[in-house]
Amino acid sequence: MEATHSHLRASLPNSPDRPLRPVFSDALRFWEVRRILYNLILAAVSFAWLAATWPHFQPALAPHSLFLLSILALIANACYCVAYLVDIPMQLADLGAVWKRYRWILWLAGTLVAFVLTNYWIADEIYPDVR
């Protein structure tokens, strides 16, 4: 009878035998290392726009603009955190081992969406307004 109960406890995600700490640690190790590359890609997009259209963006380099750029960077990093809302439940699911092998696809898809949004934002929202 006791063996049956210990088997049930081991299969539950929030049981004392299977704490959430390793799941959170694994998520942090996976996503935070890739956050650096994510930020570098978005910074490269911004720098490429600045370099390619330099005379046009020169007046925009003011302290006020740098403050707004910092706000946009914070928003981009807050959006990056959404991956945890998918990753942690997927790790706790029955196919958690399979998910761990393929979660890089979520990172790639999210980074591509951020890349497209950054280009759109600069081309449509910022570029036309800079004089």
Q: With respect to residue 48, please indicate whether it lies within any of the assigned structural domains.
A: yes
Q: With respect to residue 11, please indicate whether it lies within any of the assigned structural domains.
A: no
Span 90-105, pLDDT tens digits: 999 999 999 999 999 9
Most confident of 56-65, 75-84, 122-131: 75-84
Span 31-71, pLDDT tens digits: 999 999 999 999 999 999 999 988 888 877 888 888 888 99
Secondary structure, 3-state, the chain: CHHHHHHHHHHCCCCCCCCCHHHHHHHHHHHHHHHHHHHHHHHHHHHHHHHHCHHHHHHHCCHHHHHHHHHHHHHHHHHHCHHHHHHHHHHHCCCHHHHHHHCHHHHHHHHHHHHHHHHHHHHHHHHHHCC
Q: With respect to residue 12, please indicate whether it lies within any of the assigned structural domains.
A: no
Q: With respect to residue 6, please indicate whether it lies within any of the assigned structural domains.
A: no
Residue type, 78: A
What domain count does the chain have?
A: 1
Q: With respect to residue 1, please indicate whether it lies within any of the assigned structural domains.
A: no
Task: Give the pLDDT confidence score for residue 15 in this predicted structure.
Answer: 54
Q: With respect to residue 89, please indicate whether it lies within any of the assigned structural domains.
A: yes
Q: Do 23 and 91 contact (CB within 8 A), yes or no?
A: yes
Task: Give the pLDDT confidence score for residue 103 in this predicted structure.
Answer: 97
Percentage of the chain beyond pLDDT 90 is 63
Q: With respect to residue 5, please indicate whether it lies within any of the assigned structural domains.
A: no
- Residue 8's pLDDT band (boundaries 50, 70, 90)? very low
Q: CA 63, CA 53: separation in Å to the nearest integer?
A: 19
Taking residues 119-125, what's their average pLDDT?
88
Which residues constitute the domain of residue 24?
Answer: 20-129
Collect all residues with Cβ–Cβ distance below 8 Å to 109 and sequence separation of at least 6: none
Task: Give the pLDDT confidence score for residue 9 in this predicted structure.
Answer: 46
Indicate if the pLDDT at residue 6 is higher than 90: no
